[in-house]
């Protein structure tokens, strides 16, 4: 299994390289001059040309890409044009909040999605199944940024306008309140949780809806298998049959689904972090794209692509651990 995972990692490396190449070319062909954005409209031509030469932006595109790639693979990710800080420090400050947001969202969305899908499969063709199907289908089709804006309007601005209790009012901007560093640990943790509530809820609702639909189909298929009929013939309780036999076998493709959903999760994080001003990599990337901060955009793209590849490999490994049949194939 280790050899197979290593082989897949080696196969994925050209994919990451292709993503970086397309991103680099697209950034440089897009309208906008990072030097003019950095210096401002009042800068004279001589200053702009000197800055462009110092940044190496006056060289051919192929030479720029080769030079960046050579530095990148050796650990030199460059310096942010807009912030004058090492790119590693810029992304290092943003990676933690993004992993926190995506980690909580992934765990909660799969826990809720598996629960809903199992309930639907156990009560298939009932009114409850039909109601959950209608709701999850609608939510799954809803773009994450639309849901995020709706939650902000209701639980941030609307809650104040309608004079809702404080427990139902949630902040819509940032990771913590102003002056939170002066709070005691318990109060600061509570403040952070309140700031996490709406971004996490946005990602959980969309993710759980898709997971529930997938789990339902997998569970219904598992309930039709001969081993389930054999378990029922032995006189086992329906709860035991559903949880220990059907659900366990239905979770194998769900684990693989985690790796397939990671690209969608990270793309959703970009929109959600931007809307809620969450200080993560998604928001940093959007700001870097708007400011034509090439080193930050390229490094962030590399990190996102690597996380997606590693997520797929972890999903394959987890599926092999759960199901010996998959282990034999890998």
How large is the average pLDDT for residues 4-17?
76
**Distances from the Cα of 14 to the Cα of 19, 69, 263, 297, angstroms:** 9, 13, 17, 19
pLDDT at res. 87: 92
Name 20's Cβ contacts closer than 8 Å, sequence gap at least 6.
69, 298, 301, 302, 305
Condensed to tens digits (0 to 9), the pLDDT of residues 148-166 reads: 999 999 998 888 888 888 8
Flag the least confident range among 27-31, 71-75, 179-183, 238-242. Answer: 238-242
pTM for the whole thing?
0.81
pLDDT at res. 88: 92
In this structure, what token pair is assigned to residue 170?
Answer: 């949630």
pLDDT at res. 89: 93
**Distances from the Cα of 289 to the Cα of 80, 264, 274, 285, angstroms:** 12, 19, 12, 6
206 pLDDT band (50/70/90 cuts)? confident
The CA-based angle 294-99-150, given to 5 degrees, is: 90
Compute the distance between CA of residue 321 and CA of residue 255 in angstroms, rounded to an integer. Answer: 11
pLDDT at res. 158: 85
Pick the CATH number of 2-19+91-329 from 2.60.120.10, 1.10.10.10, 3.30.930.10, 1.10.3720.10: 1.10.3720.10
pLDDT at res. 298: 92
43 pLDDT band (50/70/90 cuts)? confident
Does pLDDT of 1 surpass 70?
no
Flag the least confident range among 177-181, 243-247, 256-260, 298-302. Answer: 256-260
Which residue's entry shows tokens 């039709």? 224
Does pLDDT of 86 surpass 60?
yes
CB of 270 closer than 8 Å to CB of 40 = no
């Amino acid at each position: 299994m280790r050899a197979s995972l290593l082989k897949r990692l080696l196969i994925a490396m050209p994919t990451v390289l292709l993503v970086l190449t397309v991103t680099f070319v697209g950034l440089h062909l897009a309208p906008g001059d990072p030097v003019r954005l950095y210096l401002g409209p009042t800068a004279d031509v001589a200053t702009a040309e000197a800055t462009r030469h110092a940044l190496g932006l006056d060289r051919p595109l192929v030479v720029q890409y080769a030079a960046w790639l050579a530095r990148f693979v050796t650990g030199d990710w460059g310096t942010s044009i807009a912030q004058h800080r090492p790119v590693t420090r810029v992304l290092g400050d943003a990676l933690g909040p993004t992993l926190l947001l995506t980690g909580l969202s992934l765990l909660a969305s799969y826990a809720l999605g598996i629960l809903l899908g199992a309930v639907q499969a156990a009560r298939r063709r009932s009114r409850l199944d039909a109601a959950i199907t209608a709701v999850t289908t609608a939510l799954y089709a809803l773009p994450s940024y639309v849901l995020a804006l709706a939650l902000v309007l209701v639980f941030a601005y609307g809650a104040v306008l309608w004079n809702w209790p404080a427990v139902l009012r949630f902040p819509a901007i940032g990771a913590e309140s102003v002056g939170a560093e002066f709070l005691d640990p318990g109060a600061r943790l509570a403040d952070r949780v309140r700031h996490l509530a709406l971004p996490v809820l946005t990602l959980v609702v969309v993710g759980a809806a898709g997971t529930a639909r997938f789990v339902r189909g997998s569970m219904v298929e598992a309930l039709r298998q001969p081993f389930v009929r054999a378990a029922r013939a032995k006189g086992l309780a329906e709860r035991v049959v559903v949880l220990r036999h059907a659900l366990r076998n239905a979770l194998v493709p769900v684990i693989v689904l985690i790796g397939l959903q990671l690209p969608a999760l990270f793309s959703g994080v970009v929109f959600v972090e931007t809307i809620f001003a969450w200080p993560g990599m998604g928001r940093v990337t959007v700001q870097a794209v708007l400011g034509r901060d090439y080193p930050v955009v390229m490094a962030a793209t590399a990190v996102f692509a690597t996380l997606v590849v590693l997520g797929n490999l972890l999903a394959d490994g987890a599926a092999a651990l759960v199901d010996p049949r998959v282990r034999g194939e890998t």
